[in-house]
Structure 1
Amino acid sequence: MEQRSRLGVLGGMGPKATSVFIDQIIESTVADRDQDHIDMVILNHASLPDRTHVILENSPEQFLREIEKDIRLLEYAEVSNIAIPCNTAHYYVNEMQGMTRIPIINMVEESIKVIHEAYGDGCKVGILATNGTLHSGIYSESALKHKLVPHLPSDAMQQQIMNMIYKDIKRGVQIDPQELEDIIHQLITEDGCQCIIIACTELSIVPLSEGTKQHCVDAMDVLVKRSIELSL
């Protein structure tokens, strides 16, 4: 029997974002039958501590203890790569990688590489993310390393983004996509951004118009594509 790579998905951060990630993997895989799809081992660990809280409080101990248990389960399942559909959790990607020899797909680095390939040096990149992701600096540091110019939303805009993520999407409240599109439009027309990175998997759930998508790179999409490439 042909040896297949098995993808490990460390999910639950949040559960809806994980389900969207899995759906996108399935929809984006060229397949004529069940057997053409990717083998996945999915851990939907919803009870993990909130990543933004962990970063802002500088208290990662419990989070990393629970993550290590999940990684051991994925090792036992003999996965070839691990995907984590949560941007904020990537603040601890080095600690997580230190727990295992199984490669963890670095959602942040892969996304920044895609932007650099498309736009080149000096591109001003607006970052839409949680407070935890912005505070961690993971996207800003990666952008600077790749000769891009990171741009963060104003305090008022960031509060609007956090409300969308925590008060609406995580609670299952349907939001008007126009609200997110207006933010993206403002970052481009008023703040001079050339590209916007959707750096929160909750925001990836929001359906954007094709016109708006042209200005965006969604880290979830990048993770989906890289997961498929490595698994086939």
Structure 2
Amino acid sequence: MTDEADTLTLGVLGGMGPAATLEFLARLQAYTPADRDQDHIRVLADINPRVPDRNTPGSDAGAVLAEMAGALRGAGAEVLAMPCNTAHAHADLIQRASGLPLIDMIDLGAQAAQESGALRAGVLGTKGALRLYREYLAARGMGLVSLPPGRQEAFMEALYRIKAGDDGADVKRIMKGFADELVKAGAEVLVAGCTEVPLVLDPEDVKVDLADPGDLLARRCVAVCLGYEPTPVFVG
């Protein structure tokens, strides 16, 4: 049983894409130890599919996300989460605009990769997400393995198919192929660096450990909001 006074209200910047956000919210509920409705975390979610494409250079995604974060704080949020890897490029702006800490899913993914004992992590993600993971992995003395340019373009095509609602056998086969390519290229652990990837790729589909930052983010949000782990601090 949870004392409401001891819990934090979570603000979720979502809609990137909507299916991944709903999966994240379902995991939040599943991971919360609760005997009754009142034991669950209060969640304020802005599921905004109108956020400009984070993969388009020069898009206004950062400003939109900052506005969303400020509104979530105004509605009562005390800590933020964003189940979109690529959008973490705007993490500092989001935190400065809202004054709230953001639980960092890129850090969680990189930490899981390191804890696997691997020295080289293969990341299935957008170009923007790859840049973030390269930085975070390097800080842990790890190397990043990515798809070659042509295959990265093919990955993006598969990604947009998933965003359009295609989670069928063909796209699952294609995503498994990308994972196998990274392992053959030397990846000792894989990171699902886009929240759509786990919608079609399961851990048993790959030959090495698969870190799912979205799942790790849900678990961390539960722990932070229930007071089991300290709230992150943003130093702007």
TM-score under structure 1 length normalisation: 0.88
Residues 61-107 of structure 1 show CA distances to partners (whole Å, capped at 9, x for unaligned) of x3233222211211112212100011110111122222132111111
Aligned partner letter, 2:4: E
Aligned partner letter, 1:2: E
CA contact (8 A) 1:131 1:162 kept: no
Q: 1:139 and 2:133 equivalent? A: yes
After the TM superposition, which segments of 4 or more aligned residues of structure 1 sit over 4 Å from their partners? Answer: none
Identity %: 29
Name the residue aligned to 2:164.
171
Q: 1:124 and 2:120 equivalent? A: yes
Q: 1:24 aligns with which of 24, 27, 34?
A: 27
- Pairwise CA distance, 1:231: 1.0
Residues 125-162 of structure 1 show CA distances to partners (whole Å, capped at 9, x for unaligned) of 0010023323xx11101100111111111123212211
CA distance in structure 2 between the partners assigned to 1:211 and 1:132 by the alignment: 25
* TM alignment of 1:1-232, pairs within 5 A: 2-3=4-5, 4-53=7-56, 57=57, 59-60=58-59, 62-119=60-117, 123-134=119-130, 137-166=131-160, 168-176=161-169, 177-188=172-183, 190-210=184-204, 212=206, 215-232=209-226
Alpha-carbon distance change, 34 to 216 in structure 1, aligned in 2, over 3 angstroms: same
Aligned partner letter, 2:15: G
Aligned partner letter, 2:218: V
Aligned partner letter, 2:44: V
CA distance in structure 1 between the partners assigned to 2:196 and 2:4 by the alignment: 36
Alpha-carbon distance change, 35 to 20 in structure 1, aligned in 2, over 3 angstroms: same
CA distance in structure 1 between the partners assigned to 2:147 and 2:201 by the alignment: 21
- Pairwise CA distance, 1:213: 7.8
CA contact (8 A) 1:43 1:70 kept: yes
Local SS of the residue matching 2:10: strand
CA distance in structure 1 between the partners assigned to 2:208 and 2:9 by the alignment: 32
Name structure 1 gaps, 5 residues minimum.
none
Aligned Cα root-mean-square deviation (Å) = 1.8
Q: What number of residue pairs does the alignment pair up?
A: 221
- Pairwise CA distance, 1:229: 0.8
CA contact (8 A) 1:198 1:217 kept: yes
TM-score under structure 2 length normalisation: 0.87
Name structure 2 gaps, 5 residues minimum.
227-236
Aligned partner letter, 1:46: P
CA distance in structure 2 between the partners assigned to 1:173 and 1:117 by the alignment: 33
- Pairwise CA distance, 1:111: 1.5
CA distance in structure 2 between the partners assigned to 1:97 and 1:180 by the alignment: 33
Local SS of the residue matching 2:112: helix
Aligned partner letter, 2:103: I
Alpha-carbon distance change, 229 to 214 in structure 1, aligned in 2, over 3 angstroms: farther
- Pairwise CA distance, 1:211: 5.5
